[in-house]
Structure formats: structure tokens, C-alpha cells
């Protein structure tokens, strides 16, 4: 496991030798701007990382694509800017224009991936945990790539020595390659704040506990770490045992109306939709199941 940072022109000129001496073990560089020109610091960052012996473990492209054609054009521009340099390309999907695209977002990601891989480069997706749960997880079986996930347990100032608690590690249905655990790190050689990440070697790649019960996957409404932290009685009884926490959720939690993930509240879902109230009445598990089967894809609000 390594500590790495991701940077853009926002950080300005960076003293990469100081960054390396501070203990940072790798960098991900913003490669392209919204106007499809290179990030203003990309070439300088790449060159100076090479000179300082700082591994560039990837580049990222903040995406505004809402069509497959735009995704392909963006990917081709990234390939052009890299100009034969080999590294992993991370597609950053989080912009508000990409919310609610449904299956189209998956097609956009796959088109971008195809273009990058065809150029002989590795590919992955970056996003926040909430965006992942809302807009990627419903179609998770259609994507075959690693993920780099942002989840910030705290907003306090961070340093090279800072470590997040394991209980906050993002639980996703894909391979977790990197965890961006903060955006307020102070690192020697950089003026101001910078994003900081834990980067996992292959043996540390993590997948979540199974959330399938009765042929239905409850991952859209259940996160074991969130469930345990929200309810002290459950944490006292089950600790961090994801399987036992999921069993409680199925056997008792849904009927009790407990919230088991930060993106779905059964009480809010029930109160918002009169058609569901007429159909399900006070049978709370049916509201969870409706959201999984239909509500998320229909874009229904769950908070």
C-alpha cells in the first residue's frame, strides 16, 4: 500500500523532489482540460516527476461527456497528449451533467475504455462513493475495470503520515484500486491543499461482502460499514462482521425502517411517493425492494 497524491494546475508549480522526500510514493496527474487542451501543468509535472524519480501511476480526465461520441473524442485527445507515454488513464465521472443518464453513462464509460485500451493503455474509473452507489452500482455487472473512489471521513488537515480508519474504506462491487481519503493534505513542496490517496497493491484489492439475498442484490440500500457506524447497538453486537450485519438488515433492519446506506432512506422514500404508499402501505421491506428493482433506474429520490 502506498501514499499517492493527485494534482492539476490548481496546485501550480510543484517541487517534486520535496514531495518525494516527504514520503509520497506516486502521483496521478490531470492530463486534459474541459477545452480538450492539456492541463496547464501537465507537461511540467510529468517532466519533473521523471527527473525526481516520482512514479506517475496514472493520469486523469475529468469528464463532461454525455454521449458516446464525446467520450471517444475525449479519449482520443488524451491519447494524443500522452503521445506514446505509457500510464493508466482514469476517467473521472462525477459531474452533475452525468447524473441520471442511466444506462447511457455505462455506454459512455465503455466507449472511453475501448478507445484507451485500443491505444495500449490501462483504464480505470474515478468517482465519489455516493455517485458510484447512485449511478454506477445499478449497472455494475456491465463494467469490467478497477475503480478509484473518493470518500472523506474527515475535513481536518491531513499530512503524509495521516491514515484513515479502515471502517471508512469504500465498499464497492468492483475492485478498489485506490481510495482518495482527503482533499486537505499539506505536503512539503506544494503550496496549499492537495488530494491524498491510499493506493493498494494487487493483493490488497478489496471487494465488499455479498449483499445478495433471495435472488435480489441489496447493495443499493445496504453498506455494512455505514450500518454499523449509524447504529451503536449493531456495532456492539456484530462489530465489523459484514455478513452478520447484512443478516440483521434482512431479518430485522428493513422492517424496523433502519437506514443502511447514505444514499437511501426508506422513510424519505415512503413519504415522497403516494403511489408507493398506496401499493405497499406500512410494509417497509417492499419499499427497499422497489427502489432496487425500479426506483433507482427511474431516478426516484431516496433522501
In order of their start, the domains of the chain are: 2-204 (3.20.20.80), 212-298 (no CATH)
Taking alpha carbons only, the member of 97, 137, 95, 105 closest to residue 291 is 137
Q: What is the mean pLDDT of residues 264-279?
A: 96
Instruction: Tell me: pLDDT of 239 over 80.
Output: yes
Q: What are φ and ψ of residue 34, in 5° steps?
A: -60, -35
Cα dihedral 166, 135, 8, 76 sign: positive
Cα dihedral 51, 10, 199, 189 sign: positive
d(CA 226, CA 171): 10
pTM of the model: 0.70
Supply the pLDDT for residue 205.
52
Mean pLDDT of the chain: 93
Determine which of 56-60, 220-224, 265-269 has the lowest per-residue pLDDT on average: 220-224
d(CA 279, CA 242): 32
Supply the pLDDT for residue 8.
97
d(CA 103, CA 107): 7
Supply the pLDDT for residue 200.
87
End-to-end CA distance of the chain: 35
Size (the chain), residues: 303
The burial of 123, by beta-carbon neighbours within 10 Å (0-12 exposed, 13-18 middle, 19 or more buried), is given as: buried
d(CA 126, CA 147): 6
Give 88-137 pLDDT, tens digit per residue: 999 999 999 999 899 999 999 999 999 999 999 999 999 999 999 999 98
The H-assigned helical ranges of 217-265 are 224-230, 232-238, 242-248, 254-256
Taking alpha carbons only, the member of 87, 195, 175, 71 closest to residue 132 is 175
CB-based contacts of 67, cutoff 8 Å, min separation 6: 104, 108
DSSP 8-state secondary structure symbol assigned to residue 3: E
| CB-facing half-sphere around the CA of 264: CA atoms within 13 A | 28
Q: What is the mean pLDDT of residues 183-191?
A: 96
**68-82 and 103-118 are packed helices; what angle lies between their axes, rounded to 10 degrees?**
30
160 and 124 in contact (C-beta within 8 Å)? no
SS3 assignment, position 37: coil
Instruction: Tell me: pLDDT of 230 over 70.
Output: yes
Amino acid at each position: 500500500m502506498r501514499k499517492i497524491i493527485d494534482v492539476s494546475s490548481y496546485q501550480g508549480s510543484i517541487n517534486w523532489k520535496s514531495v518525494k522526500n516527504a514520503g509520497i510514493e506516486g502521483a496521478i496527474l490531470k492530463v486534459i482540460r474541459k477545452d480538450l487542451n492539456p492541463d496547464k501543468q501537465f507537461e511540467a509535472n510529468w517532466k519533473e516527476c521523471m527527473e525526481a524519480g516520482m512514479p506517475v501511476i496514472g493520469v486523469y480526465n475529468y469528464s463532461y461527456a454525455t454521449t458516446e461520441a464525446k467520450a471517444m473524442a475525449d479519449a482520443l485527445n488524451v491519447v494524443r497528449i500522452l503521445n506514446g507515454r505509457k500510464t493508466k488513464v482514469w476517467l473521472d465521472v462525477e459531474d452533475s451533467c452525468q447524473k441520471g443518464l442511466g444506462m447511457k453513462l455505462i455506454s459512455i464509460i465503455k466507449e472511453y475504455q475501448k478507445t484507451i485500451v485500443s491505444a495500449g493503455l490501462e483504464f480505470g474509473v474515478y468517482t465519489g462513493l455516493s455517485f458510484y452507489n447512485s449511478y454506477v452500482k445499478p449497472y455494475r455487472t456491465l463494467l469490467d475495470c478497477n475503480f478509484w473512489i473518493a470518500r472523506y471521513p474527515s475535513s481536518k488537515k491531513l499530512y503524509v503520515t495521516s491514515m484513515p480508519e479502515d471502517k471508512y474504506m469504500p465498499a464497492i462491487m468492483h475492485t478498489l484500486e485506490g481510495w482518495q481519503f482527503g482533499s486537505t493534505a499539506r505536503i512539503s513542496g506544494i503550496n496549499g491543499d492537495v488530494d491524498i490517496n491510499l493506493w493498494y497493491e494487487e493483493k490488497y484489492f478489496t471487494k465488499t461482502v455479498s449483499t445478495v439475498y433471495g435472488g435480489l442484490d441489496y447493495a443499493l440500500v445496504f453498506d455494512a460499514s455505514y450500518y454499523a457506524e449509524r447504529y451503536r447497538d449493531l456495532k456492539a453486537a456484530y462489530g465489523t462482521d459484514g455478513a452478520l450485519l447484512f443478516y440483521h438488515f434482512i431479518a430485522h433492519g428493513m422492517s424496523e425502517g433502519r437506514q443502511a446506506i447514505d444514499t437511501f432512506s426508506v422513510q424519505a422514500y415512503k413519504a415522497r411517493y403516494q403511489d408507493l404508499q398506496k401499493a405497499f402501505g406500512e410494509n417497509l421491506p417492499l419499499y427497499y425492494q422497489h427502489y432496487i428493482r425500479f426506483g433507482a433506474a427511474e431516478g426516484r429520490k431516496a433522501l
